[in-house]
Structure 1
Amino acid sequence: MRGSGLTRDLSFLLARANALSLAAGNAALAEHGLRVRSYSVLALAMDDIRPSQRDLAAFLRLNPSQVVALVDDLEDRGLVRREADPADRRNNVVVATAEGRDCFVSAQLAARAAERELHGQISSRQRDQLAELLQTLAFPG
C-alpha cells in the first residue's frame, strides 16, 4: 500500500506520523506512569507560565473535561497541584510539584530517546526543518 496515492496526501501523512509518534511516546513514558497527554500537561505545568485548565485545553486542543481528568490524575499522584490564579482568584492554575519536576526530568529523557529512535532516519537538519514547519502549521499567524 506504500505505493498508493494516499501516501502523497499530506493530512494522511501527518496523521500517520502522529500515530507513530504517539505510540512511541506512550511506550517510552509508560515506565513513568505517563502518556503523551499527561506528559504534555506536566511539561506545561513545569514552565513559569502557570497555565489554567482552560489554557491547557486550548493549547493542547483537548476538551476541557479531558484536561480536568488529566490534571486530577496528576494531582492524585502528587505531580501537580492546583493553585488560585493571583490575577483571577476564580480560576486555578496548574503547577508542578517537586515530585512532578523529578518525574518530568526522567520522563523527558525517555521521551527524547524515543523521539530520536523514531526520527533516526532523518538528519538533524531535516528534523529541525520539520519542527519549524510543524510549528508554522500548529501556530499560524
Structure 2
Amino acid sequence: MTETADSTVRAALPSEEAGIERLYSSELANETEFLAARTRSVGSRRANEELASLDLKVRSYSVLSLACSGLNPSQRELAEFLFLDPSQIVALVDSLEKRGAVKRKADPRDRRSNIITPTAAGKKLYAEAAAVVQAAGEGALSALTPEERDQLRDLLRRVAFADQQG
C-alpha cells in the first residue's frame, strides 16, 4: 500500500479515542450557536440539580425571580421575556401559586391581564433559591476568572437583548 493510500485508509477509520472527547475537534464544537446552546444546557442542568432540594427548576425559579423583582410582570410579559409559550407560564404560575409562593392580581394597566406578585413565603423561597443559583452559576463558570465571568455576562446580555437596543 502506498503512503497516500495508507493515510486515506487511516483517515476513514474511526478514531481510537473513546467517548465524546473525540468530538471536541469537530466543526460543530466551534460553532457559536452550538456552544451557546451547550453552555445553556450545562448551566441549566447544574442549576436544576441544585434547585431540586427546593422543589424548583430553572423555569419556575425564573418566574419566581421576576415575580420578586418588584417589577410586577404580567403573565404575557413573563412569556415574552422568558421565550416560553403562554400556556407554559400558566402552568409555572399555577404550580408556584399552589405552593403559596406567588399570587395573581389584576393588572392595573390592563384589567384583562394578571400580574404575578410574590407572597412572603415566595420571597423567602426566592432568597434561598437565588443563593443556590448563584453558587451553581459560579460552579459552572469556575474555569473563568472573575473578570472573565463579568465579561461573559456582559457579552451574553448584549447578544440576548440586541433586538431591544436602539
TM-score between the two structures when normalised by the length of structure 1: 0.98
Instruction: Give the aligned partner of residue 74 of structure 2.
Output: 52
Work out the CA distance in 2 between the residues paired with 1:114 and 1:135. 19
Work out the CA distance in 2 between the residues paired with 1:30 and 1:12. 26
Residue pairs, 1:67-86, within 5 angstroms: 67-86=89-108
Which structure is larger by alpha-carbon Rg, 1 or 2? 2
Work out the CA distance in 1 between the residues paired with 2:144 and 2:110. 45
Ranges in structure 1 where 5+ consecutive residues have no aligned partner: none
Divergent runs of 4+, >6 A: none
Instruction: Give the aligned partner of residue 15 of structure 1.
Output: 37
Count of residue correspondences? 141
- Over the residues paired in the alignment, what is the CA RMSD in angstroms? 0.7
Instruction: Give the aligned partner of residue 151 of structure 2.
Output: 129
Match of 1:102 among 112, 124, 127: 124
Instruction: Give the aligned partner of residue 24 of structure 1.
Output: 46
Instruction: Give the aligned partner of residue 136 of structure 2.
Output: 114
Fraction of identical pairs, as percent = 45
Q: Is 2:33 aligned against 1:2?
A: no
Is the partner of 2:105 in helix, strand or coil?
strand
Instruction: Give the aligned partner of residue 11 of structure 2.
Output: none
Instruction: Give the aligned partner of residue 42 of structure 1.
Output: 64
Q: What amino acid does structure 2 have at the position aligned with 1:27? A: E
Work out the CA distance in 2 between the residues paired with 1:53 and 1:92. 6
Instruction: Give the aligned partner of residue 64 of structure 1.
Output: 86
Offset at residue 118 of structure 1 (A)? 1.1
Using CA pairs under 8 Å that are at least 6 residues apart, name the structure with larger relative contact order, 1 or 2: 1
Offset at residue 87 of structure 1 (A)? 2.1
Offset at residue 6 of structure 1 (A)? 1.2
Instruction: Give the aligned partner of residue 138 of structure 1.
Output: 160
Work out the CA distance in 2 between the residues paired with 1:90 and 1:19. 35
Offset at residue 18 of structure 1 (A)? 0.6
Work out the CA distance in 2 between the residues paired with 1:104 and 1:56. 17
Work out the CA distance in 1 between the residues paired with 2:27 and 2:151. 24
